[in-house]
Amino acid sequence: MLTITLGILTTTAHHIHGRTVREYLGLVSGDTVVVLQHRQRRGARDERDGFDLQRARQCVLATMARRAGERGATVVLAVTIDYVALGVGRLLVTATGTAARL
């Protein structure tokens, strides 16, 4: 996966083919807590929960990219997105990667 977020390349890869990393700038991350409403429709999950998670992923990636940009990065490598349950209906969403300059 290779995307551009706030002008910063973000990728799950550890390198970008054909490009050389000039400088590694350290770990960067973004996180948010999602409060999922208990919205059941005849036993099925509500589609809005998926939208909440999608919006949370976009938020944490944008925060991570902004922090990388503040360090002078042009790319964030080895990006992972993790989820941790914080009790009923609450979820911590975190994106972490290595900021670098190509």
Question: Which pLDDT score is estimated for 82?
Answer: 97
Question: Which pLDDT score is estimated for 84?
Answer: 95
Q: Based on DSSP, count helices (H) and strands (E) in the chain, helices before strands.
A: 1, 7
Residue 44 is part of a domain; what is its CATH number? Answer: 3.30.110.70
pTM of the model: 0.83
Whole-angstrom Cα distance, residue 96 to residue 65? 10
Whole-angstrom Cα distance, residue 75 to residue 18? 14
pLDDT in tens, the chain (102 residues): 778 888 999 999 999 999 999 999 999 999 999 987 765 555 555 555 566 889 999 999 999 999 999 999 999 999 999 999 998 889 999 999 999 999
Question: Which pLDDT score is estimated for 44?
Answer: 53
Greatest Cα pair distance in the chain: 55
Task: Give the burial string for 27-61 (b: 16+ CB within 10 Å, else e).
Answer: ebbbbbebebeeeeeeeeeeeebeebbeebbebbb
- With contact defined as beta carbons under 8 Å apart, do 74 and 9 qualify? yes
Query: Length of the chain, please?
Result: 102
Question: Which pLDDT score is estimated for 89?
Answer: 83
Cα 41–chain centre separation: 29
Domain that holds residue 46: 2-101
How many domains in the chain? 1
